[in-house]
A and B are shown apart, each in its own frame.
Chain A
Amino acid sequence: MSSVATEPALHAGNYRGRVARRLVVLAGLAGLLVLSVAIDVSLGPARYAISDVFRTILAPGAADLQMRVVIWDIRMPMALLAVTVGASLSLAGAQMQTILANPLASPFTLGLSAAASFGAALAMVLGVALFPAALWLMVPVNAFAMAMAAALLIFGLSTLRGVTVETIVLLGIALVFTFNAALALLQYFASEQALSAVVFWTMGSLTKATWGKVAVTAVILAICAPLFARRAWALTAIRLGETRAAAMGVPVKRLRLEALFLVSLLAAVPVSFVGTIGFIGIVGPHVARLLLGEDQRFFLPGAMLAGAAILSATSVLSKALLPGAVLPIGVITALVGVPFFMVLILTKGRKSW
């Protein structure tokens, strides 16, 4: 054939260059994340010099008590919860989009967030605890239980015969409307005080961050991410289409079920802690896809880093926009994120989503 004349090593070389460029992009994302977290920790109603903040982080024993409490017990958990929640939601969205072959799939669009909001509202409006044993954690436990129930419903239905990915997406959308209607009904009957609590919760907020929440979300991320990583080749192959992937020997059905279960866990826990932060699950994966492509070896860490960096940057903005006030982060994510996202997808002009 005529093209045999080309030097065979050429494309392997191009490939190595591409890998190197992607590692640089990942390092860049990680750098942005670190920078954003540093700014996040140094921002707040009490003004401290950045150098003091770092001294307190590195040597807490030497700092004065007030500063130590502000940095270590308030700002650090908030800043780190933004990282773990952002990474979890983005990873969940990335894998939902992968296994459902749908660029709109995310914890938000498939009804998990709506279910969580409804669960939280049950606690705040009616005082109903789905697990009475954990009364003091009523709101997050309810939210988690409802989100997980919604996820398991989708999961269960997807195992039925003849259920396609399109059906799953439609089911998810039906769930969004159902839970939103149920939530509206609760709000209609709620007392004024409960109503404002519900509204605040659904806006999403990191202000109730604790080290415990950081640890729980981090552990779940640390369990799920390696499980996805082990299936990197198969997950990437699924994006070539179900039949192609099956022809390559990928157990498509089993992989989809496993992934759906992990995704449910990844999405339900953060949402139960911080409320509705919808946008990250869509925008994080899309940013990673545009920067790195869909080879899961890069896409997977990229989606986590992008989600974490975006939520962390949003956390910074939510404090910086109105001095002295912390705006609800779910609102800021959408307001600031959407224009940025629009520019990104419109200027790239790729045919892949």
Chain B
Amino acid sequence: MVKLALEQLGARYGQREVLSDASSPWIEGGVLTALVGANAAGKSTLFRRIAGQLRGAGAIRLSGATESDLRYMPQDTAMTAALTVYESVILALKQGKGGWRLTPSELTAVDDVLHRFGIAHLAEQQLPDLSGGQRQSVSIAQTLVTRPKVVLMDEPTSALDLYRQFEILEALRQYAAETGAVVVLAVHDLNQVMRSCTTTIALAGGRIIATGPTLEVLTPDLIRQLYGIDSRVERCSRGCPMMIVDGPSPVEFQV
């Protein structure tokens, strides 16, 4: 099983400190982990810092994986290149490897990841012709085609319809279970987090304020602290936990 721990990570853009003293206990692989926090709380910065795209204070501890096993999926952006979906996934697979030829096993890996995330039918489509949701699914395939053991995904489901959200989160959950990988997802939909993610990391103002089992972390108090929202966490008639939003917290309103 792969494990990831953060020790006092910091990062700054110029003079502005965006991440400080971000620490977490060991985060276990094999399940999905959510990273929650308000806009500009530093979620993307934390991912980029872990992925080595930003320098800064602190250390990243890995157990059962090395730095090269880590993949980061940035937030969705347009893709204008004249490439097919299939080619774009090959591209992710071949980065850093020599040789222009593809082995049969490499082609199988590409086919496999397209099937796994339900986009095999898009294989021959041109990237600029994709919808936002399709593009997001392609990004996920690009990220996982190398079968990384540590995966950081910045809002992987933000452009997906409800059905696809479930499909993708289920596929990601299966991937984590199969490979034992640490899979951290920055997600805004807390109900989706409660349903799919075993562990949750909460980030506010560039600091990690809680890490632990999702239902222990996502309390009404913490949700108010994160988003300035009054809410209740209740059980639905079938027993699954649900967050019910009452509205903006009055205290936050006055500010």
Do residues B120 and A351 form an inter-chain contact, with CB atoms below 8 A?
A: no
Do residues A240 and B72 form an inter-chain contact, with CB atoms below 8 A?
A: no
Do residues B91 and A240 form an inter-chain contact, with CB atoms below 8 A?
A: yes
Selecting from A79-87, A230-238, A325-333, the interface stretch reads A230-238
> Does chain B have a CB within 8 A of A256?
no
> Does chain A have a CB within 8 A of B3?
no
In the complex, A240→B135 CA distance in Å? 11
Do residues B87 and A11 form an inter-chain contact, with CB atoms below 8 A?
A: no
Do residues B120 and A11 form an inter-chain contact, with CB atoms below 8 A?
A: yes
Q: Please, which residues of chain B bring their CB within 8 A of the CB of A294?
A: 81-83
With A14-B123, A233-B94, A248-B142 as given contacts, are A239 and B83 in contact (CB-CB < 8 Å)? yes
> Does chain B have a CB within 8 A of A212?
no
Complex: chain A residue closest to B74, CB-CB: A243
In the complex, A237→B77 CA distance in Å? 14
Cβ-neighbour of A295 out of B73, B87, B110, B128 (below 8 A): B87
Do residues B77 and A14 form an inter-chain contact, with CB atoms below 8 A?
A: no
Q: Please, which residues of chain B bring their CB within 8 A of the CB of A10?
A: 111
> Does chain B have a CB within 8 A of A9?
yes
In the complex, A263→B154 CA distance in Å? 35
Do residues B126 and A6 form an inter-chain contact, with CB atoms below 8 A?
A: no
In the complex, A233→B106 CA distance in Å? 15
In the complex, A248→B74 CA distance in Å? 10
Do residues A15 and B81 form an inter-chain contact, with CB atoms below 8 A?
A: no
Q: Please, which residues of chain B bring their CB within 8 A of the CB of A250?
A: 95
Do residues B95 and A352 form an inter-chain contact, with CB atoms below 8 A?
A: no
> Does chain B have a CB within 8 A of A127?
no
Complex: chain B residue closest to A14, CB-CB: B124
Interface residues of B in 64-104 (CB under 8 A from A): 71-75, 77-84, 86-88, 90-92, 94-97, 100, 102, 104
Q: How far is the CB of B95 from chain A (nearest CB, A)?
A: 4
In the complex, A3→B114 CA distance in Å? 9
Q: How far is the CB of A5 from chain B (nearest CB, A)?
A: 9
In the complex, A353→B51 CA distance in Å? 31
Do residues B86 and A4 form an inter-chain contact, with CB atoms below 8 A?
A: no
Do residues A247 and B73 form an inter-chain contact, with CB atoms below 8 A?
A: yes
Q: Please, which residues of chain A bring their CB within 8 A of the CB of B15?
A: none
Q: Please, which residues of chain B bring their CB within 8 A of the CB of A21?
A: none
Q: How far is the CB of B93 from chain A (nearest CB, A)?
A: 9
In the complex, A8→B104 CA distance in Å? 12
Q: How far is the CB of A18 from chain B (nearest CB, A)?
A: 8
> Does chain A have a CB within 8 A of B16?
no
In the complex, A234→B111 CA distance in Å? 22
Q: Please, which residues of chain B bring their CB within 8 A of the CB of A351?
A: 80, 126, 128-129
Q: Please, which residues of chain A bring their CB within 8 A of the CB of B221?
A: none
Complex: chain A residue closest to B117, CB-CB: A1
Q: Please, which residues of chain B bring their CB within 8 A of the CB of A75?
A: none
> Does chain B have a CB within 8 A of A254?
no
Question: Which of A6, A8, A247 counts the most chain B CB atoms within 10 A?
Answer: A247
In the complex, A297→B86 CA distance in Å? 15
Cβ-neighbour of A11 out of B111, B126, B139 (below 8 A): B111
Q: Please, which residues of chain A bring their CB within 8 A of the CB of B116?
A: 1
Complex: chain B residue closest to A252, CB-CB: B53
In the complex, A184→B53 CA distance in Å? 47
5 residue pairs, one from A and one from B, having the closest CB atoms: A351-B128, A239-B81, A12-B107, A352-B82, A243-B74
| Chain A residues proximal to chain B, CB less than 8 Å | 1-4, 6, 8-12, 14-15, 18, 232-234, 236-237, 239-241, 243-244, 246-250, 289-290, 293-295, 297, 350-353
Q: Could you list 12 further interchain pairs (A-B, Cβ under 8 angstroms) beyond the known A12-B110, A236-B83, A352-B81? A: A1-B116, A6-B121, A10-B111, A11-B86, A14-B124, A15-B86, A15-B107, A233-B91, A240-B81, A244-B79, A247-B71, A295-B87
| Chain B residues proximal to chain A, CB less than 8 Å | 51, 53, 71-75, 77-84, 86-88, 90-92, 94-97, 100, 102, 104, 107-108, 110-112, 114-116, 118-121, 123-124, 126-129, 139, 142-143, 167, 171
17 contacts between A and B (CB under 8 A): A3-B115, A6-B121, A8-B112, A15-B86, A15-B87, A15-B107, A233-B94, A237-B92, A239-B83, A240-B81, A241-B78, A243-B77, A248-B92, A295-B91, A351-B126, A352-B127, A353-B80
